[in-house]
Amino acid sequence: MNTGELVELAQQLRVDSVRASAAAGSGHPTSSMSAADLMAVLFAHHFRYDFDRPAHPGNDRFVLSKGHASPLLYSVYKAVGAVDDEELLTFRTLGSRLEGHPTPRRLPWVETATGSLGQGLPVGVGIALSEKRLDRTGYRVWVLCGDSEMAEGSVWEAAEQAGHEHLDNLTVVVDVNRLGQRGPTRHGHDLDAYARRFQAFGWHTVEVDGHDVDAIDRAYGEAVSTKGQPTAILARTLKGKGVADIEDREGLHGKPLKNADDAIAELGGPRDLRIQVTEPPAARMLHSVHTGPFELPRFEKGGDEVATRNAFGQALAALGSGRSDVVALDGEVGDSTRAEFFAKEHPDRYFECYIAEQQMVAVAVGLAARGWVPYATTFAAFLTRAYDFIRMASISGSGLNLIGSHAGVAIGQDGPSQMGLEDLAMMRAVHGSTVLYPCDANQTARLVAEMAGLEGVRYLRTSRGESPVIYGPDEEFPIGGSKVLRSSGQDRMTIVAAGVTVPEALAAADALEGEGISVRVIDLYSVKPVDRPTLRRAAEETGCLLTVEDHHEEGGLGDAVLDAFLDGRPVPRLVRLAVRSMPGSGSPDEQLHAAGIDAESIAAAGKLLVEGAVVR
């Protein structure tokens, strides 16, 4: 396209953004209008993509980080022929693929769900890393950000990793339109303020008039030719560009235009220009999954005690030998999480993300989008920093394995800042998630392998301290199952435990047995989905349940058990032991006792329960 045609195309994108928002009665047309020239030039001249083959290994990848500007993206899809005008006007209606913020669940050309600002660039870095280190098919990654989200710390975690990794296949385009939701942004139109920040992280920067299509074209060409550095194109734009009454005016964010027909007329009316997107160059097919024989580590039942974090690391390294699509990421604690075992055996598929948990999860999402099976690890407590990324990964439908080590008060002397005590609740709340909490080494190894074949967000909780090997190496642990470790026809109650509390529950059961109280013990290693039939049968046969968990009482194991009885049937007598106070420092045994979740405390609570006392 020549200059005049690009200008006309940008006007068409503005018109269609206004039309779509007007039809929906909601949306963000002004945020779309500011970036129309940027998108017109990118897709007409620089973006290489086969819209009929979104999985083509040579396709460039585009991420709309400012996801609220979805009317602009959908207008581009219309211009390339991926959607028609009728579908464009279904924007934001029930059942439409064209949601308020784009998601890959609905549209095959969308790489990741956006809308929570500050996430597009981090995920884009993950996709660019996939190309650089794994795929090597030559595609480029383009990310369109808004200037408001430049205030997010996650953007600068991403910028630093991209600079450190020399991702010259990555270009971020920042739509600096000066206005956020409630007023001016922090830096307004000061492009140099943004340039200094990107340059500090090792980026090449280009400052440009975001409404000069020829200047934009040159900037994109400069980005493509820059080697050894990612490029940030900082484009000065005007929100609502093209309509005099709304251009660069505050108070119009997220609102359809009141006089849409007049605005469309001022923009020159509807058009039907088509973009002939450049097809990607011939590329070798993406990685084929190599599966070969591998043997999970085997631990002797009744032998030496083994920490589940150690079993995790050994199992992941073994899985990596058997599956070529498995990759591992860590937040600079690999010697603690034991992800280092994988790093030593498969360094080409290991990603060190340093102390940047948001970025670690974002890279995992980017790698998953390219077909890899990521295992991302850090302390369970620190995954709370990345929770919004985990939530958005679920919206994307990402296949993501997260491992949280050093869970609970059982880590001992490090104190509460290092203790994961909220993680089970956090992960159970994620839509479609799987939450696993193994108690011994063989169980851990089996579950690590099981996770690779699951869908959605998967979470495995591991422990720091050594624990007895309860199960044999050939025992199987189906997802959604549990293990009844002891039972009899005379059981008067059931103790439900997971992880570090399983050995404590068994010891408590032995103590109660010595006092003539028979107790059933269930290892509820699958916290979500939970084994409802086994729990319901235990309630019917023993009359009462006692749950014990190294986690806060809200949202963890106890609530998972309670959920099994929320179908209208009578709820059994249920007592929940959990960490209710703020722990300090102390040995693991002291911590478990202080929290009231060790064998002695479980036995005391169980005795009171079967004798009819109320435990508060």
Active-site residue list = 357
Calpha distance 184→197 (Å, rounded)? 19
Q: Are strands 573-579 and 544-552 parallel, antiparallel or unpaired?
A: parallel
Closest CA to 132 of 217, 224, 228: 228
Does residue 61 sit in helix, strand or coil? strand
DSSP class of residue 139 equals -
**What count of Cα atoms within 13 Å lies in the side-chain half-sphere of residue 193?**
12
Q: Cis link prior to 478 (omega < 30° from 0)?
A: no
Residue 302: both structure tokens together? 């009744």
Place of tokens 């203790």: 419
Closest CA to 295 of 462, 459, 452, 446: 446
Q: Are strands 457-461 and 434-436 parallel, antiparallel or unpaired?
A: parallel
User: What residues have CB less than 8 Å from 305, skipping those under 6 apart?
Assistant: 466, 467, 468, 469
Does residue 215 sit in helix, strand or coil? helix
Calpha distance 165→152 (Å, rounded)? 21
Distance of CA 232 to the CA centre of its chain: 25
Name the CA dihedral angle for 110, 115, 116, 121, rounded to a multiple of 10 degrees: 50
Place of tokens 């383009």: 142
Element (DSSP H or E) covering residue 204: strand 204-209
Residue 115 · residue 68 · CB < 8 Å: yes
Calpha distance 38→207 (Å, rounded)? 13
**What count of Cα atoms within 13 Å lies in the side-chain half-sphere of residue 67?**
21
Closest CA to 336 of 357, 309, 306: 309
**Phi/psi-derived region of residue 310, left when phi > 0, alpha when psi is between -120 and 50, beta in every other case:** alpha
The partner residues of 207 in beta bridges, in order of sequence, read 234
Instruction: Give a three-class secondary structure readout of 475-528.
Output: CCCCCCCCEEEECCCCCCEEEEECCCHHHHHHHHHHHHHHCCCCEEEEECCEEE
Place of tokens 């470790």: 485
Q: Could you give phi then psi for residue 309, rounded to 5 degrees?
A: -65, -35
Calpha distance 200→290 (Å, rounded)? 40
Calpha distance 394→591 (Å, rounded)? 34
Calpha distance 501→512 (Å, rounded)? 16
